[in-house]
Amino acid sequence: MIKKITADLIFPVSSPPIEKAVVIVDKKGKIVAIDSLKNHDASTVEFHKGIIVPGFVNTHCHLELSHMKTMVDTGTTLIPFITAVVQKRNLSVEIIADAIKKADAEMYQNGIVAVGDISNTIDTFATKATSKIRYYTFIEMFDFLQEANAQNTFEQYFAVANQLELKNGAKKSLVPHAPYSVSKNLFKKIKDTNPKGNNITVSIHNQETNAEQDLFLTGKGEFVTFYEKFGISLAQFKHNRKTAIHYAMKNMNPRNRNLFVHNTLTSKADIEAAQAWSKNIFWATCANANLYIENRLPNYQHFIDSDARMTIGTDSLTSNWQLSVLEEMKTIARFQSYICFETLLKWATLYGAQALGFEKDFGSIEVGKMPGLNLLNLDTDLQLKTDTCVTRLV
């Protein structure tokens, strides 16, 4: 059985918006045609007020931290935030599993069709096995810049990766946590184990806080003190007198799809250096998490000026009030209103699908794809407002 759906505007994303058009989908949600409304009997068409867009792609989430909603204070900056997560994340298996299941359902209800999800444990694997969302799971590793610990750390997280079974198009890869937490030895083990080409995505947290920049520019700052509090010495660490992203690039594979996440302090020069290093670069912004933790946002104009492929993530319920790509779009539009709706939509859909290697099915409304269809209660002026909401149609 097919469904015929229309609205004031259809946004394919891969092509200009269409008026008076019908999207025809089969019972599995695959688009079989996009046609003119005049060719169809009105009684056979489902009419909606607003605009229809593809399902959203959330390129950065920590689903396994869903049980920590409201447990960590806002505005503390990154290092106190990390400390609180480490100290408070261990609750009962039942509480963690229930929160993960509810968060997955929340994302689906919010029109999200695919997620790039960070996993340090196996906690999310049961939910992912039955989820209606397609996941790219990033098995994240960190050894706190301790070269001697790289092998043990790698073995620990590699064992986690081996327990994830992939079904229905799901993917996984091994990834480094952040420049400030991964030694050269661990970077090498990750790079040597992952496939070498652009058929995988490698995610890394990048340039979230001044302390991260200080560590690599001067070898000093809050991260040195942070590690000392946990009895970890950085005596063997040698700073490179360049921003943190340069350390990451030196130790990552430019042939992979590389997804740099947060980028709160990333400069135009950093962006250009990365995009010269590799043609497979994507960026992820988690606006609400940046405000929650550091009370600041990236300068998105730098990314626009550099023709960067920006994507949108939600981060976790530890650092956000909800898991909604639409709410991220609204926040960006509120604080940096020069970014037009069409640009934000491309970040939220097509570029996200490309970043995760899911563009064959998701990211745009095209015949043969199964992108999901979301209805936004927007007027044709396309101004995101506080009360703009999403209704999942397919």
371, part of any domain: no
pLDDT in tens, 374-388: 999 999 899 999 999
Under DSSP, is residue 206 helix (H, G, I), strand (E, B) or coil? Answer: strand
State the Cα–Cα distance between residues 52 and 384, nearest whole angstrom. 14
Amino acid at 188: K
369, part of any domain: no
370, part of any domain: no
Do residues 145 and 245 both lie within one domain?
Answer: yes
269, part of any domain: yes
Q: What is the pLDDT of residue 349?
A: 99
| Number of structural domains found in the chain | 2
Amino acid at 71: M
Do residues 15 and 135 both lie within one domain?
Answer: no
Strand partners, 136: 116, 171
Strand partners, 152: none
Q: What is the pLDDT of residue 155?
A: 98
Q: In this structure, are residues 153 and 143 in contact, taking their beta carbons and an 8 Å threshold?
A: yes
State the Cα–Cα distance between residues 61 and 76, nearest whole angstrom. 20
**Which of the 8 DSSP states describes residue 250?**
H
Do residues 39 and 63 both lie within one domain?
Answer: no
Residue labelled with tokens 């995009």: 275
In degrees, rounded to 5, the angle at the alpha carbon of residue 119 between the alpha carbons of residues 113 and 121 is 135
Across the chain, how many H-helices and E-strands are there?
14, 16
Q: What is the pLDDT of residue 267?
A: 98
Do residues 299 and 335 both lie within one domain?
Answer: yes
121, part of any domain: yes
Do residues 218 and 309 both lie within one domain?
Answer: yes
Residue labelled with tokens 């946002």: 297
368, part of any domain: no
Q: What is the pLDDT of residue 392?
A: 98
Do residues 103 and 12 both lie within one domain?
Answer: no
Do residues 105 and 247 both lie within one domain?
Answer: yes
Do residues 343 and 278 both lie within one domain?
Answer: yes
The CA dihedral of 65, 71, 77, 83, to the nearest 10 degrees, is -70
- Residue range(s) defining the domain that contains residue 48: 3-52+382-392
Do residues 10 and 131 both lie within one domain?
Answer: no
- Report which of 191, 312, 210 is spatially closest to residue 254, judged by C-alpha positions: 191
Instruction: Mention every residue, 6+ apart, whose C-beta is less than 8 A from residue 231.
Output: none
State the Cα–Cα distance between residues 122 and 139, nearest whole angstrom. 9
Q: In this structure, are residues 153 and 189 in contact, taking their beta carbons and an 8 Å threshold?
A: no
Do residues 146 and 237 both lie within one domain?
Answer: yes
74, part of any domain: yes
The CA-to-CA distance between both ends of the chain, in Å, stands at 13
pLDDT profile of the chain (394 residues), mean per 10:
96 97 97 97 97 98 96 94 89 95 98 98 98 98 97 98 96 98 98 95 97 96 92 91 98 98 98 98 98 97 98 98 98 97 98 98 98 96 96 98
State the Cα–Cα distance between residues 168 and 387, nearest whole angstrom. 34
Q: What is the pLDDT of residue 380?
A: 83
73, part of any domain: yes
Do residues 18 and 155 both lie within one domain?
Answer: no
Residue 304: CB atoms within 10 A of its CB come to 15
State the Cα–Cα distance between residues 328 and 290, nearest whole angstrom. 11
Do residues 128 and 151 both lie within one domain?
Answer: yes
Please return the burial class of 242, using the count of CB atoms within 10 Å of its CB with bins 0-12, 13-18 and 19+.
Answer: middle
- Put simply, whether the predicted model's pTM sits higher than 0.95 gets the answer yes
* Residue 387 to residues 116, 320, 321, 326, 335, Cα–Cα distance (Å): 27, 18, 16, 11, 16
Q: Which CATH number do you get for residue 200?
A: 3.20.20.140
